[in-house]
């Protein structure tokens, strides 16, 4: 019985790390795109906004759930 809670805790920590890494990667991709993109790119700018939103949701979700 004691090993079960340890396995569950390890899985939760692993999932938290994975979610945070994915969130940081998407935020980094959006930042890299924003630095390299020209000033006027209406179509692709929406892609950057989507990356920022997804990254922020993943990071905030990991914090809120407290995995």
pLDDT tens readout for residues 48-66: 777 778 878 887 777 777 6
**All residues at 6 or more sequence positions from 25 whose CB lies less than 8 Å from its CB, including other chains:** 55
Give the pTM: 0.56
User: Each residue of 6-65: pLDDT tens digit?
Assistant: 566 567 777 778 877 887 887 787 778 777 766 666 776 777 777 778 878 887 777 777
Inter-residue contact 51 to 33 (CB < 8 Å): yes
For the chain, domain boundaries: 2-65
Q: What are the backbone dihedrals phi and psi of residue 40, each rounded to the nearest 5 degrees, phi first?
A: -115, 100
CB 27 within 8 A of CB 54: no
């Amino acid at each position: 019985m004691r090993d079960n809670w340890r396995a569950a805790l390890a899985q939760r920590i692993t999932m938290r790390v994975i979610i945070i890494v994915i969130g940081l990667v998407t935020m980094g991709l959006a930042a890299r795109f924003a630095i390299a993109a020209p000033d006027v790119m209406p179509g692709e700018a929406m892609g950057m906004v989507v990356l920022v939103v997804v990254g922020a949701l993943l990071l905030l979700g990991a914090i809120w759930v407290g995995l």
